[in-house]
Structure 1
Amino acid sequence: FASSLRVEPNQDFHGLVCEGANMLPSKFLDDSFRDRHGKIINIRHLDQVIKSINGWYQERGLTGMVSYAEILSGGILRLQVSEAEVNNINIRFLDRRTGEPTIGKTKPETILQQLTTKKGQAYNRAQVKRDVETILTMGIMEDVTIIPQPVGDSNKVDLVMNLVERKSGGFSAGGGISSGITNGPLSGLIGSFAYSQRNVFGRNKKLNLSLERGQIDSIFRLNYTDPWIDGDNKRTSRTVMVQNSRTPGTLIHGGEHPDHSPITIGRVTAGIEYSRPFRPKWSGTLGLIFQHAGARDDKGNPMIRDFYNSQLTASGNPYDDTLLAKLESVYTDSGDQSSTMFVFNVEQGLPILPEWLSFNRVTARLRQSYEIGPARLLLSASGGHVEGNFSPHEAFAIGGTNSVRGYEEGAVGSGRSYAVGSGEVSCRLFGPLEGVVFGDYGSDLGSGPTVPGDPAGARGKPGSGYGYGVGIRVDSPLGPLRLEYAFNDKQARRFHFGVGHRN
């Protein structure tokens, strides 16, 4: 834009007419001329006002400026402001290899839905930059650029969005650690194989199909997610899930016994969840989940009682059926020197049929970290309670890599209630290597005997305990790899290996 100024000297200021300033607050102009009424128009002051108006647009990433100013008869000052307006938004897909225009798989409306910049709005460079970042976080684009192009001699611009799509689907393989196996040369190792499609129907819908297999573990999981339901202005997402799993029962029903055969917990689960942000830094999830679960021996036969004669189901049948209504709220915040995460979860068993379980489960987790010079302090706490008739294998297991280190998995106790606290101080050693010292404490709050069958009491678990130790961590694409050596209050010592952040 270019600006011009036409004035006649020695006129008194008696009013202001400002045209084209749709974004500029009227109070800004009122404050600029508050003390000038009835006084001779000062060219120097007028020039300062024009510069301040232009600066207001620049500070906010807007394209606008005073293009013309003149003194009308009667001492009326007229300012003409030119603001760039978005005329149209055009989407263009480019080939990943040649950079030439091509036909994209993604529906244009799926992209336009994500943009906060709309036709008819003032062109805001900062807002456009945020839109580029939003499109990249969808995970279906390799590169995104938005180029403004003037429209003739008007103050309007067309925005040309150049998109390079990434490969939307593929197979992957990996591995992990199961927390339920504590003995054996390959204890807890899990292999995984997965297929994912990030852009189903060209509408940014996600399909994930995975299979995990270990010594005992096996999990087949199918997830279908719509990150933003069409027509919803609250950015609500929907996930449909089906899962068939077989996991070790040693967390609750493990222990040394001459007639012991490994117990596994088989679960068939299906459900639907809706999630959305509802306040700054807060998000929520509502869901309905059905679960068919029971215990099996090493030959796959259903079991009702274990070798301590503790019951393995709440109903007394080979399987327990549960329909769960779920409510979860998550708060996250991060700054230069600290970060916070808080998760609150409520689950209610709905006895639609007489044999379905009815119980209420409440859990909460808090994690707070502080940067203190070269070190980082991490404090975490978690707790929960179950009221009603629930399956014994759904009790809270305390002890292990993600609970109280220095103990085997679930060795502190298993209760209807629990509380676990942890403190860590870590410091970067060199490169991706980090050293850490830690201490943990956990308790079933005296609720172990109230679990159906009292599996913790039958195995002589203490119900509370603490551990402390040192460890090293290495950054990796899977998250931090954790190797820790811990002591517990029973004078026992133990190595722990984990992948990713502690729960």
Structure 2
Amino acid sequence: MTLKPNYSYRAREVAGESHVIKSELGIFKSVRALAKDTRDGMRVTFEVVPFEILRGVELQGLEAVPAKVVEETFRPMMGKPINSNHVSGAVEYFKAYAESKRGIDSIEGISLLEEPSDGVLRLGFVDVDINDVKVEIDPSIDAKTGKENKVLSKVDSVMPYFENIKTTKVLNGMRVRETIDRFRAQNPRFGEPQINMLPKPGPLGKRTLLVSLKEKSMKGVTCGGGMSARGLSEGIFSGIAGHFSAFHTNLFGQGKMLNLGVEATPRKGGRGLTVVRPQVNLQYQDPWVGFGPTRTSRAMSVRSESSSMRSTHGVNSTNVDGDQPDITSPGLSEMSLQRLQTSVEHSRPLLNGWNGMFSVDFKRTGVLDNDGNHSLFDAYGAPVTFSGTKCDTALAAQMRFTYGGPNAAQLMLSAEQALPVQPQWLNYTRMVAKAKRSFNLLSVGSLPGPVQLVLSSKGGSVVGDLPPYEAFAIGGTSSVRGYNDGAIGTGRKYVVGSAEMRVPVTPTITGAAFFDYGSDLHSGGSVLGDPAGTRGKPGSGYSYGVAGMFETGGLPIRFDYAKNDQGNARFHFSLARDFN
């Protein structure tokens, strides 16, 4: 009470006191000030009407909050006078709960349906319903003239991406973000989509979403040079690369994409010559075939690839100090894998975070020496192709299923079957599985995020024809750190596991300590030519170390320092948040 005897007050101050009593206590339905003249002055009496005893609750339109949560929230209030402050607190809790589930505040209106004269509190909630979705496309700007270009994209090539927002009816922020992320990944012809909710005449809660898109440059040519990933593990000269690319991201105005990429890397050949073997990749992508209900995408590609075979066919050479042999050094002859491949791939989202992919690949693979000539044997006289000819040929069908869930949970299951259409073609079955999950261990107030434990594992097996270059190479940056690539083993089977403790230092810097283990499960001897046994690879090994991860404008950079069970230490560098 702020009113005191023997003081003068205006009528609005007395009325304000009535409001304070009602709002702060929350237990009165109404508060009225009654003034009466007396011999000693004005007497003010506050007449109050208490709320009824709460006997039940009925909520309409609150679909995002389970009945159990509602019951637990109102249970302490039952059998007591209704308190408007407690009810308001419950309503705010329900709104926060709905926002946590939907990723957005989707409750637009709350009303008392009728007076609780019988002790039953009846509240009505109005969700924001998506009544319509509209798309606007703004033109790109010509870099030379500064004028707007003609809009090349058709609205009907964009609208299907956002139809699933409208089918949810109730506004769901997580669904909107998921839709935007998928749209961005499949449509590089546009910049960042802007989402606005427009009011629309009509019933409360009915809204129209406006998606504003801005076109980017849809075709072009780029060229340049730099350092490829090969230079990090094989020396600076092997990592120098020049590249040329041409692209079009909006064929036929339907968002279909065509890309041509050529990369050339020099290599030291025999007799002091320099050999340049270009890699060519021509790819056509349709991010949504016919805008069908399954959201299937298609990719067709033809590519010529060249890669090092150090991880499998490196030659033993003793270090300068005479200590640990480098079992993956090139030795006298640097062999490379040359592959010509054409593929057709279809992929589509499945239910509950799953995605599926099916592809058919035709591959011709050969091994070249320093001078670009085909090799049939490595430095130890072991065959490098399964067929014994210059090239192995395979026609393979592959199915892959991936899952992404909460707590950064990831799962990948893959099965590949080679089809021996011709007697000399490869016939094998390859199965691979990968899994990863993170756990929040504790939160420290001084740190920008929780301390996490990240567990990851992967393994695989091949049954049937297995060329040495298709065997699983164990050890290296993406396997067991502290070892060179393939230094632990080359097997028909393998398993690799890692445990990593991560501590965020700043929002952009994270430190970690890790332990890795990998094994070929005693399958190295079953690989043609036994490249692992010939080179004395141990077949299993572990390592431990520390890592630093840096976020630089969306580009993750990672440094690892690991020491293996042989006592050797090694630095690793990668452009990824996770080592595998």
Shared topology, TM-score over 0.5? yes
Please name the residue that 1:116 is paired with: 163
Counterpart selection for 1:250 from 310, 316, 324? 310
CA contact (8 A) 2:129 2:171 kept: no
Q: Distance between the aligned counterparts of 2:512 and 2:387, measured in 1?
A: 45
CA contact (8 A) 1:321 1:357 kept: yes
Counterpart selection for 1:346 from 415, 418, 429? 415
Q: Distance between the aligned counterparts of 2:374 and 2:105, measured in 1?
A: 66
Unmatched segments (≥5 aa) in structure 2: 1-59, 68-90, 115-125, 268-276, 318-329, 443-449
Structure 1 residue identity aligned to 2:579: R
Q: Distance between the aligned counterparts of 2:508 and 2:137, measured in 1?
A: 38
Structure 2 residue identity aligned to 1:411: A
Counterpart selection for 1:356 from 425, 436, 442? 425
The structure-2 alpha-carbon separation of the partners of 1:151 and 1:246, relative to structure 1 and needing over 3 Å to count, comes to same
Q: Distance between the aligned counterparts of 2:553 and 2:243, measured in 1?
A: 16
Q: Distance between the aligned counterparts of 2:566 and 2:296, measured in 1?
A: 49
Structure 2 residue identity aligned to 1:196: F
Unmatched segments (≥5 aa) in structure 1: 1-20, 29-51, 70-80
Identity of aligned residues (%): 33
Structure 2 residue identity aligned to 1:502: F
Structure 1 residue identity aligned to 2:283: N
The structure-2 alpha-carbon separation of the partners of 1:149 and 1:426, relative to structure 1 and needing over 3 Å to count, comes to closer
Structure 2 residue identity aligned to 1:94: D
1:87-111 CA distance string (max 9 Å, x none)? x766443345699998521122111
Counterpart selection for 1:421 from 497, 500, 510? 497
Counterpart selection for 1:144 from 194, 201, 209? 194
1:92-151 CA distance string (max 9 Å, x none)? 4334569999852112211121122699x8975558956666655544333434564757
Counterpart selection for 2:299 from 220, 239, 243? 239
CA contact (8 A) 1:377 1:424 kept: yes
Q: Distance between the aligned counterparts of 1:122 and 1:402, measured in 2?
A: 40
Please name the residue that 1:365 is paired with: 434
Please name the residue that 1:224 is paired with: 284
CA contact (8 A) 1:478 1:499 kept: no
The structure-2 alpha-carbon separation of the partners of 1:85 and 1:470, relative to structure 1 and needing over 3 Å to count, comes to closer
Question: How far off its partner does 1:215 sit?
Answer: 4.5
Structure 2 residue identity aligned to 1:116: E
The structure-2 alpha-carbon separation of the partners of 1:301 and 1:269, relative to structure 1 and needing over 3 Å to count, comes to same
1:329-408 to 2 correspondences below 5 Å: 329-334=401-406, 338-373=407-442, 374-408=450-484
Q: Distance between the aligned counterparts of 1:377 and 1:472, measured in 2?
A: 15
State the TM-score, normalizing by the size of structure 1.
0.75
Counterpart selection for 1:440 from 505, 509, 516? 516
1:25-65 CA distance string (max 9 Å, x none)? xxx9xxxxxxxxxxxxxxxxxxxxxxx9xx99999958899
Q: Distance between the aligned counterparts of 1:245 and 1:133, measured in 2?
A: 31
Structure 2 residue identity aligned to 1:223: Q
CA contact (8 A) 1:62 1:124 kept: no
The structure-2 alpha-carbon separation of the partners of 1:289 and 1:408, relative to structure 1 and needing over 3 Å to count, comes to same
Question: How far off its partner does 1:433 sit?
Answer: 2.7
CA contact (8 A) 1:23 1:122 kept: no
Question: How far off its partner does 1:186 sit?
Answer: 4.9
Tell which has more relative contact order, 1 or 2 (C-alpha 8 A, sep 6+).
1
Question: How far off its partner does 1:259 sit?
Answer: 7.1
Counterpart selection for 2:351 from 279, 283, 293? 279
Counterpart selection for 2:400 from 328, 337, 340? 328
Larger Rg: 2
Tell me the secondary structure at the aligned position of residue 327 of structure 1. Answer: strand
1:4-23 to 2 correspondences below 5 Å: none
Query: Per residue, is there more strand in 1 or in 2?
Result: 1
CA contact (8 A) 2:315 2:331 kept: no
Q: Distance between the aligned counterparts of 1:375 and 1:305, measured in 2?
A: 50
Pairwise CA RMSD of aligned residues? Answer: 4.1
1:155-194 to 2 correspondences below 5 Å: 161-171=211-221, 177-178=228-229, 182-186=233-237, 188=239, 190=241, 192-194=243-245
Question: How far off its partner does 1:392 sit?
Answer: 1.1
Counterpart selection for 1:454 from 520, 530, 535? 530
Please name the residue that 1:72 is paired with: none
Tell me the secondary structure at the aligned position of residue 408 of structure 2. Answer: strand
Structure 1 residue identity aligned to 2:279: I
Counterpart selection for 1:209 from 260, 271, 278? 260
CA contact (8 A) 1:206 1:225 kept: yes
Query: Per residue, is there more helix in 1 or in 2?
Result: 2
Structure 2 residue identity aligned to 1:294: G
Question: How far off its partner does 1:178 sit?
Answer: 3.4
The structure-2 alpha-carbon separation of the partners of 1:365 and 1:160, relative to structure 1 and needing over 3 Å to count, comes to closer
Q: Distance between the aligned counterparts of 1:469 and 1:123, measured in 2?
A: 50
CA contact (8 A) 1:414 1:456 kept: yes
Structure 1 residue identity aligned to 2:539: G
Question: How far off its partner does 1:353 sit?
Answer: 1.0
